[in-house]
Amino acid sequence: MALDAGTPLDAGPGTEGVARWLRSALGAATGLPFAPGGGPRAVRLRVDPGIERASGPEGYRLSTDGSVEDAAVLVEGGAAAGVFWGVQTLRQLLGPDAYRKAPAGPHGRVWELPRLTVTDAPRFRWRGLMLDVSRHFMPKDDVLRQLDLLAAHKLNVFHFHLTDDQGWRIEIRRHPRLTEIGSWRARTKWGHRASPLWNETPHGGFYTQDDIREIVAYAAERHISVVPEIDVPGHSQAAIAAYPELGNSDVVDTASLAVWDTWGVNPNVLAPSETTLRFYEGVFEEVLDLFPSTFVHIGGDECPKDQWKRSPAAQARIAELGLADEDELQSWFVRHFDRWLADRGRRLIGWDEILEGGLAPGAAVSSWRGYAGGVAAAEAGHDVVMCPEQHVYLDHRQAPGDDEPMPIGYVRTLEDVYRFEPVPAGLSPEAAAHVLGTQANVWTEVMENRARVDYQVFPRLAAFAEVAWSELPAPADRDFADFERRMTAHYRRLDALGVDYRPPAGPSPRQRRPGVPGRPIEGAPPNV
């Protein structure tokens, strides 16, 4: 079985977008035209409702074994998404050169395919990567490239962490100072927060609303949903620097706050006022216009309550609402947006701190401080995405020793990630059904550019992708030697894609950063 210049592409109803992707990506890599047409030499794409009934919209069947009449290759999916994942498998079978942007081999090359049939479907419907573009801004083209990398690994959720203390990255038309002021900081901590070193170059950037539309459309063409995160009520100093009335101005001089230049948990949180609620409703109105995703992430993590304890206005609010304490005030804040989003047909998701003070009725939880928050939420009937920092925080170092470019957090090797289990043993079957899936998180305090992000994310994202997609044995029984053997082929694909991954033998001299102030303390809290 082989593809060549005479291979037509026969795209059935509903697969036009997949055909467009195939022609642009595989066409570019191979130089083949994939002209429209059918017949026995064609690659045929079809949606098959039978597959959807049996294994869902993302299930697919790929046949190259010659058993299909009138087509050389048949890719059938439960929906277009399944056809798209089937085409990703087809690309894997074509070899590493199929991941390039132009033909690297001899002119007139024939693209051999092994003869086989693959029947496949994902274990989880939420297979995500969270990227923090606040701590370090990632230019739009690099975000689009990340989406290509997610698609190549059959991941389907891009959790876009757009706002934090260190930078506001999304244009909001009705509040222009969010990006005029909030998207730039004067300097940046180099290394973890206790490091004495600074990078004195101003850092910033943001996405215009047209950039966001482009990113969302690019993701949709790859069957990836983009979940925006606008962090409230903590992690908000960039917004307060732009609009000081959003902060607790009765206890701190919020007008003197700048976009934060260091790392850690920040005491400057939003005031629980009507002004703040109306302001963020305006922000979310624009966000909903841009992002069709059902889920909208409101952060909710790491909101210190000290300012609310000292603020007469916050205390008056607690009394007026009849709340017991500051935790309930945070819960009230989250509930407000839970209702507000539900009224608009969306669903709120937040970090597991939103459990404190009582979980809003429709809320889903990203369980990051371990499994416990996710377990409690799932047992209470809430949907959960498992992303425990002990396992899938890809900013954490990949090996012990001083060679890692920025040795922060837990040591989590490729093998550790391969042995990560998103559904903890002991969860009741009803609760387990509330685990929507899993995601890896990438916080970028110590990743100042794309190459640094590549190094932290790869190859571990390949192990994560297999965990998120496949039904694997229990962690101790997983065949890591087999995974490593298959990785030898995958490293060639990553090379073709130009991914600056961590080599199995450790960082190359170019990737090392001798003498950087990392924090090599196993078991330490996560905030760099």
Residue type, 131: L
| Rounded Cα distance, 412 and 398, in Å | 5
d(CA 436, CA 367): 11
Residues with Cβ < 8 Å from 192, sequence gap 6 or more?
263, 408, 445, 446, 517, 518, 519, 528
Query: Among residues 10, 48, 76, 164, which one is catalytic?
Result: 164
Distance CA 461, CA 493 (A): 13
Q: Which residues, 469 to 528, sit near ligand ACM by CB under 6 A?
A: 526
**β pairing state of 2-3 and 111-112:** antiparallel
Residue 48 designated active-site: no
Would you say 99 or 126 has its CB closer to ligand ACM? 126
**Do residues 427 and 375 lie in contact, with contact meaning Cβ atoms separated by under 8 Å?**
yes
Binding mask 56-95 for ligand ACM (x = CB under 6 A): ----------------------------------------
Residue 416 catalytic?
no
Smallest distance from the beta carbon of 348 to ligand ACM, in angstroms?
15
Amino acid at 252: V
Alpha helices in 247-363 (DSSP H): 274-290, 306-310, 312-321, 326-343
| Tokens of residue 258, six digits | 């700048």
Closer CB to ligand ACM, 7 or 134, in the complex: 134
Nearer to ligand ACM, 113 or 376 (CB): 376
Task: Report the residue number, 517 or 526, with the smaller CB distance to ligand ACM.
Answer: 526
Would residue 235 show up in a list of annotated catalytic residues for this protein? yes
**Minimum distance from residue 55 beta carbon to ligand ACM (Å):** 32
When binding is defined by CB under 6 A, the residue of 52, 65, 120, 301 that contacts ligand ACM is: 301
Q: Report the side by side order of strands in the sheet with 9-11.
A: 9-11, 43-47, 73-77, 60-63, 117-120
Number of residues that bind ligand ACM (CB under 6 A): 5
Question: How far is 394 from 496, CA to CA, in rounded Å?
Answer: 22
Q: Which residues inside 325-354 make contact with ligand ACM, applying CB under 6 A?
A: 351
* Buried/exposed code over 200-217 (b: 16+ C-beta within 10 A; e: otherwise): eeebbebbeeebbeebbe
Instruction: Name the maximum alpha-carbon separation found in the chain.
Output: 77
- Written as six digits, the tokens of 357 are 């003070």
Neighbours of 219 (CB within 10 A): 24
DSSP designation for 255: G
Q: How far is the CB of 98 from ligand ACM (least distance, A)?
A: 36
Catalytic residue among 76, 302, 448, 466: 302
CB of 252 vs ligand ACM, minimal distance in Å: 22
Which lies closer to ligand ACM via its Cβ, residue 272 or residue 526? 526
Helix (H, G, I), strand (E, B) or coil at 282: helix
x/- letters, 356..395, toward ligand ACM (CB under 6 A): ------------x---------------------------
389 membership: H or E segment, kind and range: helix 389-392
Q: Is position 99 an interface residue for ligand ACM (rule: CB under 6 A)?
A: no
Nearest CA-CA partner of 439 in 396, 390, 386: 386
The distance of closest approach from Cβ of residue 78 to ligand ACM in the complex, given in angstroms and rounded to an integer, is: 33
Of 279 and 351, CB closest to ligand ACM: 351
Q: Which is nearer to ligand ACM, 276 or 366 (CB)?
A: 366
Inter-residue contact 346 to 296 (CB < 8 Å): yes
Chain residue at closest Cβ approach to ligand ACM: 301
The least distance separating ligand ACM from the CB of residue 354, rounded to whole angstroms, comes to 11
Q: Which residues pair with 127 in a beta bridge?
A: 438
**Nearest distance in Å: CB 234, ligand ACM:** 9
Residue 362 vs 370, nearer CB to ligand ACM: 370
Q: Which of 223, 235, 382, 490 is catalytic?
A: 235
Q: Which is nearer to ligand ACM, 351 or 464 (CB)?
A: 351
Closest CB 301 distance from ligand ACM, rounded Å: 4
**Least Å distance between CB 512 and ligand ACM?**
26
Tokens of 390: 């002990």
Q: What DSSP string runs through 42-74?
A: -EEEEE-HHHHHHH-TT-EEEE-SS-STT-SEE
Residue 302 makes contact with ligand ACM by CB under 6 A: yes
Angle at 164 between CA 160 and CA 169, to 5 degrees: 60
Binding interface with ligand ACM (CB under 6 A) = 301-302, 351, 368, 526
Catalytic residues: 164, 235, 302
